[in-house]
Amino acid sequence: MQTTASPSLTAVQQAASARTPGPIRPYGRYLYLALNIAILIFLLAPIAIVVVFALNPTPFIQFPPVGVSLRWFEKFFASRDFMHALGFSLEVAVLTTLSATVLGASAALALARGNLPGTRLIVATMLSPLMLPAILTGLALFQTYVLLDVGRPTWGLVAGHTLVTLPYVVRTTLAVLHNFDTRLEEAAQNLGASPVRTFFEVTLPLIKPGVLAGAIFAFIVSFDQFPVSLFLVSPGNETLPVTLFNYLKFDLDGTIGAASVVSIVLAFVVVIGLDRTVGLRSYVKL
Amino acid sequence: MMKALGSSRLSRRRFLTASASLGIGTIAAPYVARADDPTLRITGWGGKWGEIMKAEIGPAFESEFKCKLQTDSAFPYLPKLQASSRSAPIYDVLHTNSNEQWAAAEMGLVEPKIDPKLVPNLADVYPYAVSDKIVGVSIFTSAIGLGMRTDKGYGNVTSWKELWDTKYNGMRGGYVIPVNSLGQAFLMMCGTLFGKGQTDLDAAYTALEKLKPIKIVDFTGAMEKMLLSGEVGLCVIHDSGIYRYDGQNQPTDFVAPSEGVLSLEQVLTITPGSKMKELANAYVNYMLRPEVQKRLAETVWYSPANRRVKLDAKYDAKLLTTPEKVSKLIQVDWKWYNERKDEIDQRVNRIFRA
């Protein structure tokens, strides 16, 4: 564009001309905007369909919807099974988040700092649960518990969820540790801080974005976890996804949609809660 | 930074304390609540069946037999039973459909027959419930036939073969055969309708090819909704999937084809390694009691296996409650089917993928 500028233009005018969008630029921006809108629609369409299904009074998916009704939400909240499953899913997700976060962050620290032999192999092993079909992980754990004669305890379910959520915490914490300036820890220790104090007041705040990102992933993956839970839930203690699956085999009505909307809202609430208590802004830096 | 750190530390501590308390409570609760009563571990359906079992039938059994009934309603039952020890199986009584029961029996996971001396109510069941096509005992059955919309002007449907009529193109419904019992039973029916019998697979495959275009679903519940919404006009379905909407003014009806209806049995079996054999037999006997059968039949629209059951007129008119009606039931040879399941799955997947 600059090469075609009139020779009578001053340097300032030329520079201004260079900054001014040409005829192609607005077109490119519109294309960029359209692409982003298309991606948003792609991401949000399933949620929109679920919301429509949940609010539609007919007992089947109908488009266009014939009205707006809260009958499926009433049915969902009135169901003891669903309420129990929702509460149990939340409990398991919280416990899983805690265990996966503590174990995953510790493992990542050891891998980044421990000068361990075969670090790459260990990292690959820790990420391997993501590569194995989760249903097989569930079946294998179920068989292990049966062999150990421990039944299907809640801690077994939490352990199963921890196994599949651990890689997220390890990966996100390792990412932060990769750019970690160890001189900050050395400075703290030179100023008299003990290793424990250094960890809690220097290391942990600095790796918090990665740990928190992993924790959020862990919570969401655990809360929505189906294949692993399928084999590990015990009678009377089913998680929400398992309860939904069993329900839809017999009753495919809007209650499923209502339950999904509640799950989505809860996931948002938890993320906002984490933001308020731990600080999500540091996570966003990632 | 120190201020922010201080405040977040306080919140974190509270958060961790609350979570730890919650965790300990969650993990300890089952052990604290564990009763001394013997526990009978069974499987069972969800939906209306699960509701009434949990609310009425189960508690009444617990109270009468001074035991705890632990019902697993989370599928899949068979892999769980398979993965558990034969000497200490995860279930005492397996309740599932006949095809899965046959697979379990072939693997030695369930006892092939129920002892009539230990289950006296077995003497009162219709012959189909303990026939050579059944492992254990069928406590209920549904009739698999055709479900149709009554508001589409289709006229009077009387035969299975009408499903192949081109006027239903795009409006007929079936199942993903590898995962659905109704679909599997229907495949066998195709062999009977167009070939030499249930085992004439070539005739069945040819018939399935001609059934396209067809809308197929995994679950029966999904088919019910497609019929209710008018997405399909004629489909393979079991009677309870239609009758359960009785009184809701839905434009749907069940057709029992003249060639006969296929049976979809609810079967109970006992696991050989169960440590609760006496209680397991008592449970099977209890489920065959006329009053239990009546209550369940009138709740979920299943036809009772006990011929002494007297249903209210509304149910009696539609369900299979007389020897004449029961004689129209066609039972599937699931043993034969299961032995060829892999081959059948591959073939039907090819048919419907295309």
**Are A246 and B73 within 8 A, CB to CB?**
yes
Q: Is A256 on the interface with B (CB under 8 A)?
A: no
User: Does residue A277 carry a pLDDT above 90?
Assistant: no
pLDDT of residue A59: 76
- The pLDDT tens digits for B61-108 are 999 999 999 999 888 899 999 988 889 899 999 999 999 999 999 999
- B298 vs B304: CA distance, rounded Å: 9
User: Does residue A93 carry a pLDDT above 60?
Assistant: yes
User: Does residue A192 carry a pLDDT above 50?
Assistant: yes
- B217 vs B228: CA distance, rounded Å: 14
pLDDT of residue A236: 84
pLDDT of residue A251: 76
**Are B30 and A252 within 8 A, CB to CB?**
no
Q: Is A155 on the interface with B (CB under 8 A)?
A: yes
pLDDT of residue B14: 56
pLDDT of residue B25: 52
User: Does residue A20 carry a pLDDT above 50?
Assistant: yes
What dihedral do alpha carbons B232, B235, B239, B241 form, nearest 10°?
A: -40
pLDDT of residue A286: 43
Reported as a pLDDT band with limits 50, 70 and 90, residue B4 is very low
User: Does residue B175 carry a pLDDT above 50?
Assistant: yes
pLDDT of residue A3: 41
| B209 within 8 A of B351, measured Cβ to Cβ | yes
In a domain, A109, yes or no: yes
User: Which residue of B30, B76, B83 is in closest CB contact with A154?
Assistant: B30
Q: Is B176 on the interface with A (CB under 8 A)?
A: no
CA-based nearest residue to B235, from B247, B224, B246: B224
In a domain, A188, yes or no: yes
Q: Which residues of B touch A246 (CB under 8 A)?
A: 46, 50, 73-75
pLDDT of residue A279: 64
Q: Considering the entire predicted model, what is its pTM?
A: 0.79
User: Does residue A2 carry a pLDDT above 90?
Assistant: no
Q: How near does any CA of chain B get to the CA of A5, in Å? A: 52
| B180 within 8 A of B220, measured Cβ to Cβ | yes
- B180 vs A205: CA distance, rounded Å: 53
Q: Is B154 on the interface with A (CB under 8 A)?
A: no
Q: Is B84 on the interface with A (CB under 8 A)?
A: yes
The A residues from 15 to 54 touching B (CB cutoff 8 Å) are none
pLDDT of residue B283: 98
Task: Name the residue of chain B whose CA is nearest to A279's CA.
Answer: B8
Reported as a pLDDT band with limits 50, 70 and 90, residue A254 is confident
- The pLDDT tens digits for B250-282 are 999 999 999 999 999 999 999 999 999 999 999
- Give the CB-side neighbour count of residue A274, counting CA atoms within 13 A: 25
User: Which residue of B27, B221, B228 is in closest CB contact with A250?
Assistant: B221
User: Does residue B221 carry a pLDDT above 90?
Assistant: no
Look at the domain B144-262+337-353 and name its fold.
D-Maltodextrin-Binding Protein; domain 2 (3.40.190)
- B82 vs B70: CA distance, rounded Å: 19
pLDDT of residue B289: 98
pLDDT of residue A7: 46
Q: Which residues of B touch A250 (CB under 8 A)?
A: 45-49, 220-221
- B91 vs A51: CA distance, rounded Å: 39
| B301 within 8 A of B254, measured Cβ to Cβ | no
User: Does residue A6 carry a pLDDT above 50?
Assistant: no
Q: Specify the amino acid at residue B230.
A: G
pLDDT of residue A253: 82
pLDDT of residue A284: 52
Specify the range with the lowest mean pLDDT, choosing from A52-66, B21-35, B164-178: B21-35
User: Which residue of A154, A158, A233 is in closest CB contact with B74?
Assistant: A233
User: Does residue A260 carry a pLDDT above 60?
Assistant: yes
The B residues from 25 to 64 touching A (CB cutoff 8 Å) are 26-27, 29-30, 41, 45-50
Q: Which residues of B touch A96 (CB under 8 A)?
A: none
DSSP-assigned letter for residue B117: T
CA B96 to each of CA B259, B339, B342: distance values in angstroms, whole numbers, following the listed order: 26, 19, 20
- The pLDDT tens digits for B307-323 are 999 999 999 999 999 99
Mean pLDDT of chain B: 90
In a domain, A138, yes or no: yes
- B338 vs B278: CA distance, rounded Å: 30
Phi, psi of B225 (to 5 degrees): -70, -35
User: Does residue A4 carry a pLDDT above 90?
Assistant: no
pLDDT of residue A17: 52
Q: How near does any CA of chain A get to the CA of B49, in Å? A: 9
Q: Which residues of B touch A143 (CB under 8 A)?
A: 83
User: Where does chain B show beta strands of DSSP type E?
Assistant: 39-43, 68-72, 93-97, 137-149, 172-175, 215-217, 234-238, 252-255, 261-270, 303-304, 329-330
How many helices (H) and strands (E) chain A has is answered by: 14, 0
Task: Name the residue of chain A whose CA is nearest to B15's CA.
Answer: A277
**Are B73 and A235 within 8 A, CB to CB?**
yes
- Over pLDDT 90: what percentage of chain B? 80
| Count of other CB atoms within 10 angstroms of residue B118 | 15
| A2 within 8 A of A17, measured Cβ to Cβ | yes
Number of domains in chain A: 1
User: Does residue A107 carry a pLDDT above 90?
Assistant: yes
Do β-strands B172-175 and B303-304 pair in parallel, antiparallel, or remain unpaired? unpaired
- The pLDDT tens digits for A120-156 are 899 889 888 888 898 999 999 998 998 888 888 999 9
Which tokens sit at B197?
Answer: 């019998």
**Are B1 and A247 within 8 A, CB to CB?**
no
- B98 vs B128: CA distance, rounded Å: 12
Do β-strands B172-175 and B215-217 pair in parallel, antiparallel, or remain unpaired? parallel
| B299 within 8 A of B52, measured Cβ to Cβ | yes
User: Which residue of A236, A252, A279 is in closest CB contact with B225?
Assistant: A252
Reported as a pLDDT band with limits 50, 70 and 90, residue A211 is very high
Q: Which residues of A touch B229 (CB under 8 A)?
A: 58, 60-62
Domain residues for the domain of A266 are: 75-284
User: Does residue A264 carry a pLDDT above 90?
Assistant: no
Angle between helix A254-278 and helix A80-113 axes, rounded to 10 deg: 40
Task: Name the residue of chain A whose CA is nearest to B217's CA.
Answer: A249
Domain with CATH 3.40.190.10 in chain B: 39-141+264-324, 144-262+337-353
pLDDT of residue B5: 36
| B192 within 8 A of A220, measured Cβ to Cβ | no
At A152, which CATH number?
Answer: 1.10.3720.10
Do β-strands B68-72 and B39-43 pair in parallel, antiparallel, or remain unpaired? parallel
User: Does residue B12 carry a pLDDT above 70?
Assistant: no
**Are B23 and A234 within 8 A, CB to CB?**
no
pLDDT of residue B1: 37
Q: Is B221 on the interface with A (CB under 8 A)?
A: yes
pLDDT of residue A12: 52
User: Which residue of A91, A245, A249 is in closest CB contact with B26?
Assistant: A91
Q: Specify the amino acid at residue A170.
A: V
pLDDT of residue A16: 52
Phi, psi of B318 (to 5 degrees): -105, -30
- Over pLDDT 70: what percentage of chain A? 88
Look at the domain B39-141+264-324 and name its fold.
D-Maltodextrin-Binding Protein; domain 2 (3.40.190)
- Which has more confidence, B114 or B5? B114
- The pLDDT tens digits for B329-338 are 999 999 999 9
Interface pTM, i.e. ipTM: 0.73
| Burial degree of B151 (CB within 10 A; 0-12, 13-18, 19+) | exposed
The A residues from 184 to 243 touching B (CB cutoff 8 Å) are 201, 205, 230-231, 233-238, 242
User: Where does chain A show beta strands of DSSP type E?
Assistant: none
- B133 vs B155: CA distance, rounded Å: 35
- Give the CB-side neighbour count of residue A216, counting CA atoms within 13 A: 23
Which tokens sit at A281?
Answer: 């802004």
Q: Is A247 on the interface with B (CB under 8 A)?
A: yes
Phi, psi of B45 (to 5 degrees): -75, 165
Do β-strands B234-238 and B137-149 pair in parallel, antiparallel, or remain unpaired? antiparallel
**Are A277 and B229 within 8 A, CB to CB?**
no
pLDDT of residue B9: 45
The residue-averaged pLDDT of A165-180 equals: 92
